[in-house]
Amino acid sequence: MKIVIFIGTRPEAIKLYPLIIELKKEKSFNVKICFTGQHDFLLQKVLNEIKIRPNFKLICKTKDANLNMLTSKLYKKIDKVIKNYKPDLCIVQGDTTSSLVAAIASFHNKIKIAHIEAGLRTHNNQEPFPEEFNRKTISLISDLNFAPTNNAKKNLLDEKISKDKIYVTGNTVVDAVNILKKKFLFKKKDKKKFILVTCHRRENYKNFDTLLKNLLLVVKKNDLRIVLVTHPGILKYKKNSKNLEKIKTNKKIKVYSKLSHLETLQLIYHSHFIVSDSGGIQEEAPSFKKFILILRNYTERIEGINLKISKLISFNNLNIFKNITYFSEKKNLFPKNIPNPYGDGKAAKRIAKILIKWSQRKTS
């Protein structure tokens, strides 16, 4: 069976890496990787780390991050890959624009679609934007929906997706974390406590200055250190921010914008707790027993909220300052007996087994 796996961003590469390993073990599968090219620099670093080499490399970046222009470029080039290679199955992950376009292009060419990490929902099409719309649309046309949790499965069933197309597998990001934890020894090097803060989402660009103001207030009023990790795009968007200049010169705050995935995981491991708008970090943090304050109004990863190992906070007023200050004084934020609610590290093996059985049924 001919399979094409589409990768457009760094998180997609990280989450698909364990599945690629498993699928390439199956001799009846001819697996090809298509890199669609949005996170060129960031993705290349992680591809080098995990030693993935794309078979198809597309260049689909846009200067102003215009979603319609990106969609147009992606569709033309992905459609060409599908028509030329004629796969039996296309695999997409998550909720990016490249995943949406790859799924639609496959559907138009009558190619079967498998959706990894299906069923995540905030039930608000504007947050996260455009991801909520993207993943709902992908699930609608997918032949196989691999839901990471039972809650994700329930979301799909509520949307009238056939139960025969839904499989609960866990999230492959937990597999990826476990692989790296075995490969690299994580040791405590610095006993000084720091709070890890990350911010990159498109809908939070307008809130970035509010975050910076709160962080400056945190270190002014408390004996705390902060490590701030941002996406290069948000720094470009706020390049003239006075608060950003103050942050960069503050001795209690370190700013990074181009870290490798392994470096990010090491920061998660060494941190006291995390403040972030990242979906992936919400899933990775429990593997390191780290509590997380979520910089959003909504989260699609409700499992952490229910277990009280994460908390939703907003950008309103001094909410960030108050929460960081409050939790910085707490010990044992993450109960030791709680496993990662997003997976047990065996998701990729489960998905591979399901795909093997599914392919056998198709050829018999």
d(CA 189, CA 12): 30
Could you tell me if 32 and 120 are in contact, meaning their C-beta atoms sit under 8 angstroms apart? no
Q: What is the pLDDT of residue 315?
A: 79
Question: Of residues 185 and 219, which shows the higher confidence score?
Answer: 219
Q: What is the pLDDT of residue 279?
A: 93
Q: What is the pLDDT of residue 46?
A: 64
Question: 90-104, 180-194, 220-234, 275-289: lowest mean pLDDT where?
Answer: 180-194
Q: What is the pLDDT of residue 50?
A: 66
Structure tokens at 321: 């300052």
User: pLDDT tens for residues 137-157?
Assistant: 999 999 999 999 999 999 999
Q: What is the pLDDT of residue 95?
A: 96
Say yes or no to pLDDT of 16 above 80: yes
In this prediction, residues 298-311 reach a mean pLDDT of: 96
pLDDT range class, residue 355, cuts 50, 70, 90? very high
pLDDT range class, residue 38, cuts 50, 70, 90? low
Say yes or no to pLDDT of 237 above 60: no
Helix/strand/coil (H, E, C) string of 115-163? EECCCCCCCCCCCCCCHHHHHHHHHHHCCEEEECCHHHHHHHHHCCCCH
User: pLDDT tens for residues 42-71?
Assistant: 566 666 666 778 899 897 766 666 889 889
User: pLDDT tens for residues 246-257?
Assistant: 998 999 999 988
- Give residue 131's Cα distance to chain centre: 11
How is residue 312 annotated by DSSP?
E
Q: What is the pLDDT of residue 364?
A: 64
Could you tell me if 141 and 113 are in contact, meaning their C-beta atoms sit under 8 angstroms apart? yes
- Give me the DSSP letters along 194-230: EEEEEE--GGGGGGHHHHHHHHHHHHHHSS-EEEEEE
Domains of the chain and CATH, by start: 2-170+346-363 (3.40.50.2000), 182-328 (3.40.50.2000)
Share of the chain above pLDDT 70, in %: 90
pTM of the model: 0.91
pLDDT range class, residue 39, cuts 50, 70, 90? low
pLDDT range class, residue 284, cuts 50, 70, 90? very high
Say yes or no to pLDDT of 82 above 90: yes
What does DSSP say about strands 2-7 and 225-230: parallel, antiparallel, or unpaired?
A: unpaired
Q: What is the pLDDT of residue 201?
A: 82
